Amino acid sequence: MLRDRIRHRPLMDKLVTADEAAAMIEDGMVIGMSGFTRAGEAKAVPLALAERARKHPLKITLMTGASLGNDLDKTLVDAHVVARRMPFQSDPALRKAINAGEVMFIDQHLSETVEQLRTGQIAPVDIAIIEAVAITEHGGIVPTTSVGNSASFAILAKKVIIELNLSQPTTLEGLHDIYIPSKRPARMPIPVVTPESRVGLPYIPIPPEKIAAIVVSEKHDSSATIQPPDNDTRAIAGHLIELLLEEVRQGRMGHDLLPLQAGIGTIANAVLHGFIDTPFHDLKMYSEVLQDSTFELIDAGKMSFASASSITLSAEMYQKVLPKLAEYKHHLVLRPQEISNHPEVIRRLGLICINTALEFDIYGNVNSTHVGGTQMMNGIGGSGDFARNAYLSIFVTKSIAKNGAISSVVPMVSHVDHTEHDVDIVVTEQGLADLRGLAPRERARLIIDRCVHPNYREALDDYYQRAVSRGGHTPHILEEALSWHQALREKGSMRG
């Protein structure tokens, strides 16, 4: 019943079609839309907007939490609607437009976008479009499978359009914890002190009169296409679990470890999956997205609680989790990405952070975003929020890509997202390098010996030896440092 979902009665008058809602959007506007890692994005209004733009061209700045599902970024880009986009994306069509210079993409730490909005340092949000599972008696918005930046978008926007998604289960209500940091300079500590801490409201509090339109939708979230573990990801998980067992043996933590964070994607998911067959127990997550592995660990009795900003699952896992959400809810909380990724909370809790590198170099600098130093993949996302303040900052990648044409371990990364100061551990299927407390020359020795693929080991060692003969705290041969990437560009392989 719609009345159970729109519990503030006067808002029933705001029900409109997606086309009518999209007509509120004007050329040049800044739109803040829900959606984080393909979960909980507004789905009907952006499609209507694209449709409209095909007849009557217009351009907007589109802000979201992170990536969108349902090919929305593609549809909007194909309709030439997106002039500017922030703070993250993972769509091939949008990526192409970004790399062609057609869309201005602002690649940001996911915790920072709303700080800049709140202080007026970037253009204000004209309209927020938020997917909701319900609107409370007092007009509070109950988000769906992600919180992302939705709360601040709704609070800061001049108008709010709600997409009420009837396909999302009402059991989502109560899952969210909406806490917004107070304005500076009078800001108080963020009171999250454990992953379980509930410090806010289960809905986004806005004056109901700001809600300009409500559109009913029934579209589902896109399911994640996670690859199953393979030998390489199993090997990476194995190295990492061995490291954590040693941390326990050294008395640095118990078998419940410290709260875990894992970036989105196949490798991180496979690593967490590997925790099922370990002596670890009572694990907790404080992460930005919950993938299949979180629920596998909960089901296996290994994980007791998980905090994040979104839930993104495979089709099978959605079918399993959504009907039982009322049970899982006791183990879960979804927060604004500003809080899930907040440096203050990350540093306080002391997280074990596992993120994926595109490539890393012999000194442990990490490139997470740019293929060949120039072509944007997705964006830095939350990796910087987590890596900088982690108890253990771990980056994982397979040692080679494209059938060996690419080495993920290179003399110098072609783009830096995480400097050596922020990287404690690097892991490939070949092995793990524990870089804590080491100087650059020591880091290089370990990375070359442990992490690089045998096909590239000799060449990398040769580069390093010749670089050392030139001296320096961080030895390099500048005219060769990026030659592997040049060879890839010119000849299709780093082997030259």
Residues tagged in the binding site annotation: 378, 382, 402
Shortest distance in whole angstroms from residue 402 CB to a second copy: 18
Residue type, 293: S
Indicate the Cα dihedral angle 72, 74, 342, 197, nearest 10°.
30
Among 321, 384, 430, 451, binds a second copy (CB under 8 A): 384
Query: x/- site string to a second copy, residues 431 to 470, per CB under 8 A?
Result: -----xxxx-xx------------------------xx-x
CA–CA–CA angle 194, 195, 201 (5° rounding): 100
Among 76, 190, 226, 447, binds a second copy (CB under 8 A): 190
Does 315 interact with a second copy (rule: CB under 8 A)?
no
Chain positions 342 to 381 lying near a second copy, rule: CB under 8 A, are 342-344, 347-350, 365, 370, 372-376, 380
Question: Closest CB to a second copy among 177 and 417?
Answer: 417
Tokens 């004056």 map to which residue? 207
Chain positions 9 to 68 lying near a second copy, rule: CB under 8 A, are none
Q: How far apart are CA 107 and CA 383, in angstroms?
A: 12
Cβ pair 495, 455 in contact under 8 A = yes
Sorted by sequence, the CB contacts under 8 Å of residue 333 that are 6+ apart come out as 175, 176, 177, 195, 196, 198, 305, 306, 307, 308
Does 191 interact with a second copy (rule: CB under 8 A)?
yes
Segment holding 405, helix H or strand E: none
Integer CA distances (angstroms), 187 to 51, 117, 184, 195, 440, in order: 43, 16, 5, 21, 38
Question: Closest CB to a second copy among 169 and 343?
Answer: 343
Shortest distance in whole angstroms from residue 306 CB to a second copy: 15
Token pair for residue 66?
Answer: 């992170």
DSSP category for residue 231: H
Does 419 interact with a second copy (rule: CB under 8 A)?
yes
Chain positions 222 to 281 lying near a second copy, rule: CB under 8 A, are 250-252, 258-259
Cβ pair 395, 366 in contact under 8 A = yes
Does 106 interact with a second copy (rule: CB under 8 A)?
yes
From the list 288, 338, 420, 429, the catalytic residue is 288
Chain positions 387 to 416 lying near a second copy, rule: CB under 8 A, are 388-389, 391, 414-416
Q: How far apart are CA 334 and CA 345, in angstroms?
A: 15
Shortest distance in whole angstroms from residue 269 CB to a second copy: 24
Count other C-beta atoms under 10 Å from residue 465's C-beta.
12
Does 481 interact with a second copy (rule: CB under 8 A)?
yes
Does 335 interact with a second copy (rule: CB under 8 A)?
no
Tokens 């070949």 map to which residue? 430
Question: Closest CB to a second copy among 70 and 111?
Answer: 111
The verdict on whether 288 is a catalytic residue reads yes
CA–CA–CA angle 446, 447, 449 (5° rounding): 65
Chain positions 108 to 137 lying near a second copy, rule: CB under 8 A, are 108-109, 112, 116, 119-123
Question: Closest CB to a second copy among 374 and 455?
Answer: 374
Cβ pair 376, 105 in contact under 8 A = yes
Shortest distance in whole angstroms from residue 320 CB to a second copy: 30
Cβ pair 386, 417 in contact under 8 A = no
| Longest alpha-carbon distance in the chain | 76
Does 100 interact with a second copy (rule: CB under 8 A)?
yes
Shortest distance in whole angstroms from residue 160 CB to a second copy: 22
Among 9, 158, 187, 491, binds a second copy (CB under 8 A): 187
Active-site residue list = 288
